[in-house]
Chain A
């Protein structure tokens, strides 16, 4: 049920508890206070947002979109992949399942990379569940403006790399 990350975090936690015990002041009270405060910010919202995200993912027409991302879709394919990434407000299970659907339907690697990058950066579930409650609207706005060109840049770079690989294969080197 739990992956590598969970156990890595447990190890970090154990180290922190040791460090906190060695601190001169009773820090556990302050830590508990912050824990309760952040729990209150995150968990009730998470409950509603996750349910909403599940329905949104169900409503997304993944197979229809994959037809727009194939060979020859070029730059407009990257734009569509970018916009689709914005529309997947759910965790990696759903994002990567959709990416697999895209690959099966013949989408270019560059378009799939743009889609995953766009989802990684703009996934609305993370924005609403974590970023806005913990860091606020101003930070979210700053961050999103800063990473706006990133998915398209990733897609163009991936196109370039696939071109190089194709040329190498064609010339037999």
Chain B
């Protein structure tokens, strides 16, 4: 990661910048390969992340709502919901796997320092607009949008740009509008929704820049640094 902090004199050559970012994705020659796969501590860390407090919290909540559902609608309803959930999960897994492939390759390939300049703290209104457009055209569901957001955050993008990106994805994302809005609600309704939502990611980004809430990109959760 040390390479990221170094000032660069080669910022205008995309090829060389690629190299620098690549080097920062794989800190040293020894670690660049697959050596981490033999590291027991690393695997233990992975397991404790996977089955941490969050996991058991969700499990407890799922059990609680399933009991409420059983009491209100009976066993047949619980079974129907579970069957639907399983179908949903099976359908989602390929998307999640693919989104993670894209995000993790982007993580090592993208020139993160140059990206940060594009949507960094000094990027002004232009940075917010770029972030909003990027969010609008990001393909895929939340698994891809949020993994890309994590890459942007680790690249020290501005907090306003981060909020503008994910707000634009949520409100204006082309894919959501084409697949869900249009067929379910009709073209006219989706047009009105798109038009009234257009300025909102920028507004949210501006609010995020000025709101007095502390956010430190260097303290992201474990799996994202």
Contacts and interface: CB of A to CB of B under 8 A. Distances in A.
Contact of A41 (B176, B195, B215, B223): B223
Given A31-B104, A40-B50, A99-B184, A12 B139 contact: yes
A35 B196 contact: no
Most buried by B among A8, A38, A157: A38
A43 B69 CA distance: 24
Interface in A1-22: 1-6, 8-10, 12-13, 16-17, 19-20
B22 interface: yes
B221 interface: yes
Nearest to B212: A145
Interface of chain A, helix or strand or loop or mixed?
helix
Contacts of A42: 96, 100, 143
A97 B183 CA distance: 11
B180 A16 contact: no
Given A31-B104, A50-B85, A153-B200, A143 B166 contact: yes
B213 A113 contact: no
Given A49-B58, A50-B88, A154-B196, A44 B219 contact: no
B72 A59 contact: yes
Contacts of B220: 134-136, 139
A138 B185 contact: no
Contacts, number: 304
A67 to B, nearest CB: 20
A112 interface: yes
B106 to A, nearest CB: 6
Given A29-B36, A103-B185, A138-B216, A154 B58 contact: no
Contact of A141 (B34, B104, B213): B213
Given A30-B108, A48-B62, A4 B179 contact: yes
Nearest to B51: A44
A149 B204 CA distance: 9
A34 B141 contact: no
B58 A13 contact: no
Contacts of B219: 136, 138
A172 interface: no
A8 B139 CA distance: 6
Interface stretch (B4-12, B116-124, B144-152): B144-152
Contact of A25 (B23, B54, B140, B146): B23
A51 B87 CA distance: 11
Given A41-B221, A41-B222, A121-B171, A32 B197 contact: no
Interface string B59-78: 10110011011001100011
Contacts of A3: 175, 179
B126 interface: no
Interface of B: 18-19, 22-23, 25-26, 31-36, 46-47, 49-51, 54-55, 58-59, 61-62, 65-66, 68-69, 72-73, 77-78, 81-82, 84-85, 88-89, 91-92, 94-109, 139-144, 146-147, 149-150, 153, 159, 162-163, 166-167, 170-171, 175-176, 178-181, 184-185, 189, 192-193, 195-197, 200, 203-205, 207-208, 211, 213-216, 219-224
26 contacts: A5-B144, A6-B140, A9-B95, A16-B102, A27-B22, A27-B32, A27-B108, A30-B25, A37-B49, A40-B223, A41-B223, A44-B50, A49-B62, A58-B73, A99-B185, A117-B171, A126-B142, A126-B146, A128-B58, A131-B146, A133-B54, A139-B215, A143-B208, A146-B208, A147-B167, A150-B167
